[in-house]
A and B are shown apart, each in its own frame.
Chain A
Amino acid sequence: MRRVEIVAPRRRVLELLRAVHRAGVVELVPFERSVGPAEAAPTPIFGPCPDCPDRADREAALGMASELAGLLGRQAAPHDLVSRLWELDDAALAERVASLRPVHERAAALTERRRRLAAEERRIGECRELIGALAPVAGLIPRLRGYGAIAALVPARAQALLDLLRPELELVAGGRSELITADLDAQRIALLALFPREALGPVQELFGRRGIAEADLPEACAGLPLAEALARLDGEQSADAAAFETAGAELLALAEGHGAESAALAAVLADRFAESDAVAGAAASDHLVAFGGWVPDDRLAELRAGLAADFGPEALLDVRPGERRVEEAEAPVALRNPRLLRPFEPLASFLGLPRYGSLDPTPFLAVTFPAFVGLMVGDAGYGLVMLGLLLAVRLRWPRSAAVRLVVPIGIPAAAATVFFGVLFGEWFGDAGHLVFGLHPLALDRREAILPMLVLALGIGIAHVGLGLGLGVANAIRLGERREAAVRVLLLTCLFAMVALVAGRAGGWIPDPAGWLLAVSLAAAAVGLVVLAGLAGSIELVGIFGNVLSYARLMAIGLASVMLATVANQLGGLSGSILAGLLVGGLLHALNFSLGFFDSTVQGLRLHYVEFFGRFVDTGGRRFRPFAAAIARADGQARPVGR
């Protein structure tokens, strides 16, 4: 990552900014950080740039276009349209916005109409329910002249309130009232109070005091018998539904005609608005304007060429000499990985972005995480089902952000599951063996408990050892010699201990070599305590704890295969093919979900705690380039370089 200053004639400030925005490779930094200390220039030549375009106008236009895009369903802005609009000046964009104003007004009116109709439909629905519940009971009551009624809905838990209400209603109505209730559903009770019309005021006051809201019946139903009111409500509801559909169809037609344009306009106007803010952060003298920022090393040449093409000798790209102290304190971090590994970047930076200049753990995680999941689940049948599910989800929701995030990680994990499943001979547990006579190619996890445990611990030693090795490389990169020495000693301790234990157990280490290893181990341990004090000894114990933690690779796998075997056995016990398939299928579904979920969490945990803990130094700040919509669409804003 390089710190740069871009200088150009002040009259071309907006052009320069748009070129930088279009390139999408510079993270701009504010003006006060882009010039040297005050004592270096007692009378600063550069001050804040006053050439800021009218921010309020741009904000108003952006607000209108964004709102319209929202009203019309915010379609994805087509790239070619964004490119065309991006070339327009502010006046032409304002014209476009003005031409969409009638569309905006109509869309807003239609949306409001749909909102009101939906609310009315809900209200009518509630009234229908209320009347429907009360009609059978109320129908038995003879029509009485001079009597009024109030209907209401109360929560079922307020039954005690109704018991209180009944005598109070009798009291205010002079003993000439009736309270009819009917259970609407498990949560609500419908209520109808009958009383002499002259008691309407006191009854309403009583209902208000008790917090019971009267049902808001449509005026058209006033004075009608309940059965007629119900029919009237049916008619109104149908009319509202038809009007709702009509408004929706008109809105859809507007979206088809203007949705893409409004979305593209909103994207371009958002860029202009961001440019207004960026100008405010620039530095300007009487004749020059300067922008400061960070650029990835490998994009510098591209930026230089772009500026030379647009401005010739009028624009100067000044690259500051690298200052490690400044870079470490201020430079943003951009991860640089091949396309296949990029989906793993969010996982690798989940606990924080690596510190500037340190190693990126993404490539290591991209290889070992799917392998760990595959090793733990280790069932070819489950792996194939997972592959099928991921592909189906990818086809069904191709644009979903969650799908784009999960599928590229899930597919290698599912493929690894199939691979290990074939090695272990597991096809839905032992179903492959029982039905097709399939055998393990390597080992049977149900029988080979000790070899699997040794394998898991071996992977742990290799993984933690790799982490320590990377930790040494990282510490050297960052110039932390003491940290590098501590990790070398830890690595020595780990391998000396492993060689000693394995060699003595296998009997292939002669005595002199064994003594040599023991002395190395002791010397490294003493060195650790000298270099790192108490923390060194704690870390040494922690390393062995970390290695043992990898036993979960075997333990979770064993639990998974046993549950799958139990599923098959229980399915077989039922005595009926259908019941057997149902029982076995349900248990396999449970094991499938548990297996992949637990393996994912445990696989990540092994990386974050046992592996990353040995070399990843977090604290980096993400590189956020000043990138226009057009640059984002071109993929130019992809943060690369370091």
Chain B
Amino acid sequence: MDDGWRFIGAALAVGLGAIGTGLAQSRIGSAGAGTIAEKPELLGGILLMMALPETVVILGFVVAAMVLLGG
């Protein structure tokens, strides 16, 4: 039972983080696509901005690793 809760906790940590990242990236992506259509030279900057919210899922991953490996 304990293991089950740990697995669920780890899955929530990564899953919710991934959903949050996805939501943020969808907004940045749509705004970025519009920006690149007008100014293609900003592609690099937009790609970088797309990568910024991934920290959220990475932090979720760290929490999941701590939950799974800690026990």
Contacts and interface: CB of A to CB of B under 8 A. Distances in A.
Given A551-B61, A555-B61, A601-B48, A449 B69 contact: yes
A453 B47 contact: no
Interface string A582-620: 000000000000000000011011001100000000000
A608 B58 contact: no
A555 B21 CA distance: 15
A609 B51 CA distance: 11
Contacts of B59: 545, 548-549, 551
B58 A449 contact: no
Contact of B48 (A449, A450, A552, A604): A604
Given A350-B44, A604-B48, A608-B48, A549 B65 contact: no
A102 to B, nearest CB: 41
B36 interface: no
Nearest to A603: B51
A545 B52 CA distance: 12
A239 to B, nearest CB: 42
Contacts of A453: 62, 65
Given A601-B48, A602-B51, A602-B54, A450 B61 contact: no
Interface string B33-71: 000000000001101101110110011011001000100
Contacts of A548: 55, 58-59, 62
Interface in A406-451: 449-450
Contacts of B69: 449-450
Contacts, number: 42
A601 B69 CA distance: 28
Contacts of B47: 601
Given A449-B69, A545-B55, A549-B55, A605 B62 contact: no
B58 A605 contact: no
B48 to A, nearest CB: 6
Contacts of A601: 47-48, 50-51
A449 B52 contact: no
A551 B62 contact: yes
A549 B58 contact: yes
A609 B44 contact: no
A287 to B, nearest CB: 48
A608 B47 CA distance: 12
B58 A551 contact: yes
A544 to B, nearest CB: 11
Contacts of B65: 449-450, 453, 551
Contacts of A545: 55, 59
Interface in A536-563: 545, 548-549, 551-552, 555
A32 to B, nearest CB: 32
Given A449-B65, A601-B47, A552 B58 contact: yes
B49 to A, nearest CB: 9
A548 B62 CA distance: 8
Contact of B51 (A351, A555, A605): A605
Contacts of A602: 51, 54
B2 to A, nearest CB: 20
A280 B54 CA distance: 53
Contacts of B55: 545, 548-549, 552
Nearest to B65: A453
Nearest to B50: A601
Nearest to A600: B47
Contact of A609 (B50, B52, B62): B52
Contacts of A605: 48, 51-52, 54
Given A350-B44, A450-B65, A552 B54 contact: yes
Nearest to A602: B51
Nearest to A605: B51
A548 B59 CA distance: 7
A555 to B, nearest CB: 5
A605 B49 CA distance: 9
Contacts of A351: 45
Contacts of A449: 65, 69
Contacts of B48: 601, 604-605, 608
Interface string A514-551: 00000000000000000000000000000001001101
Contact of A555 (B44, B52, B58): B58
Contacts of B62: 453, 548, 551
A442 B65 CA distance: 21
A345 to B, nearest CB: 15
Nearest to A350: B44
A552 B52 CA distance: 12
B34 to A, nearest CB: 20
Interface of A: 350-351, 449-450, 453, 545, 548-549, 551-552, 555, 601-602, 604-605, 608-609
20 contacts: A350-B44, A350-B45, A351-B45, A450-B69, A453-B65, A545-B55, A548-B59, A549-B55, A549-B58, A549-B59, A551-B65, A552-B55, A555-B58, A601-B48, A601-B50, A601-B51, A602-B51, A604-B48, A608-B48, A609-B52
Given A449-B65, A551-B62, A601-B48, 13 more contacts: A350-B45, A450-B65, A450-B69, A453-B62, A548-B55, A548-B59, A548-B62, A549-B55, A551-B61, A552-B58, A601-B50, A605-B51, A605-B52
